[in-house]
Amino acid sequence: MAEVVLKEVVKHYGAHIAVNHVSLTVGDGEFVALVGPSGCGKTTTLNLVAGLIPMSGGEIHIADRLVNDLDPKDRDIAMVFQNYALYPNKSVYKNLAFPLQMRKLAKPDIDAKVKEAARVLDITHLLERRPRELSGGQQQRVALGRALVRDPAVFLMDEPLSNLDAKLRVQMRSELKRFHQDLHTTVIYVTHDQLEAVTMADKMAVMSGGFLQQYDAPDMVFAKPVNTFVAGFIGSPAMSLVPVQVVRKGDAVWLRSVDGWEFELSAENGHKALSATSDKVVLGARHSTLRIHKSAEPGTVPGRVYIVEPTGDVTFAQVKLGASIIIVSLDPHFPIAPDEPVFVEFNQNKLHLFDGETQMALAAA
Ligand SMILES: Nc1ncnc2c1ncn2[C@@H]1O[C@H](COP(=O)(O)OP(=O)(O)OP(=O)(O)O)[C@@H](O)[C@H]1O
Ligand SMILES: [Mg+2]
């Protein structure tokens, strides 16, 4: 078990900066999910921790050791990749035993470690089979087992479930979580599946364009996104974001859209809005915090239903407020049709305000 510390880590590819001054501490035994859109630098960050590619700058410490100049094999890590090539002609047992044989462990020690890993991963009954005689999920567990037998200080996993079908993914997700609960090993887990991150991780590191945008517990990232990028990335469907103008009317503070609709802010939100660097702010609202009315109530803004998307448990309606589209979740029985005029109510306690210039969340004074 070990803490992993990244300090101002940088990776250039020519003029392109794939990882830009990322600082991050993964606590001993913590499960951290690295998330972000394609190309944001997740795999590069993981490869830097593993030592598979040279760094352009910064420091990486694993278990209180500066590992910048250490080979991957000396870093006490095990990696599990998306493509978990198993040895096709070796049995599961031999696949698991191989890394230990390479390290010249005694036969009884190897046997004990293989059996323990097989027990944890529930593949004891598969030890004599070959990889092609296994399902995708079973193969994935063998790949994990191969990392597990090495008993590393840190597990690094790069989208290890992305090859699996939807049902297996969910199953393996639970098993990975269980595995972490049992072993308390430090894990850095790259995924672009938010649900995987939210359900498994103690903390989420959200990256974009090589920068670390936010690093916090999943519920905090969800409840208090630090900027419009995180707000628009986390959550499914993501938070609706609408650029608006802050307008003072006597003591009151209103938000006004270029499309003409406006509504008054609560005192607290008014303070937040006035702390912006200009009169431009971005209004953010999650689908579950919006309400649809069929007639104009005080505080509502007029819109028109654009698309209705039933998903079974919940129906999502995309509503056009002028040029902007916001997403509202509804009871599946709520009567609503495309092109219908509706009135949208923002929950003042749940709305988010971001600075229109810096895109950073505005906090209460
Ligand atoms: N060997 C390389 N040479 C040049 N550029 C690279 C190299 N490897 C990665 N990059 C670039 O660095 C950036 C980050 O890549 P990286 O693979 O870390 O993204 P990622 O977040 O893992 O994306 P994905 O979700 O698609 O796997 C991308 O713009 C990519 O094109
Ligand atoms: Mg990647």
Per-residue pLDDT reduced to its tens digit, 185-211: 999 999 988 889 999 999 999 999 999
Q: Contact, 150 vs 100, CB < 8 A?
A: yes
* Residue pointed to by tokens 């407020």: 321
- Which residues touch 142 (CB under 8 Å, ≥6 apart)? 84, 86, 92, 95, 96, 121, 123, 126, 131, 134
φ, ψ for residue 259, nearest 5 deg: -85, 0
Alpha carbon distance 63, 41 (integer Å): 23
Backbone angles phi, psi at 40, to 5 degrees: -80, -10
Residue type, 92: V
Whether the CB-CB separation of 165 and 3 falls below 8 Å is answered with no
CB 4 within 8 A of CB 23: no
Query: Greater confidence, 82 or 222?
Result: 222
Ligand 1 center–CA 41 separation, angstroms: 6
Ligand 1 binding pocket (C-beta < 6 A) is 13, 16, 18, 36, 38-44, 192
Residue with tokens 């448990």: 313
The residues whose Cβ lies within 5 A of ligand 2, an ion, are 43
Whether this model's pTM surpasses 0.95: no
Task: Give CA 110 to chain center in angstroms.
Answer: 36
Q: How confident is the model at residue 181 (pLDDT cuts 50, 70, 90)?
A: confident
pLDDT-based confidence at 1, cuts 50/70/90?
low
Question: Is 123:138 a contact under the CB 8 Å cutoff?
Answer: yes
Atom 27 of ligand 1, nearest CA residue: 38
Residue ranges of domains in the chain, CATH in brackets: 4-231 (3.40.50.300), 238-355 (2.40.50.140)
Centre of ligand 2 from the C-alpha of residue 250, in Å: 52
- pLDDT tens per residue across span 17-36: 999 999 999 999 999 999 99
DSSP letter (8 states) at residue 209: T
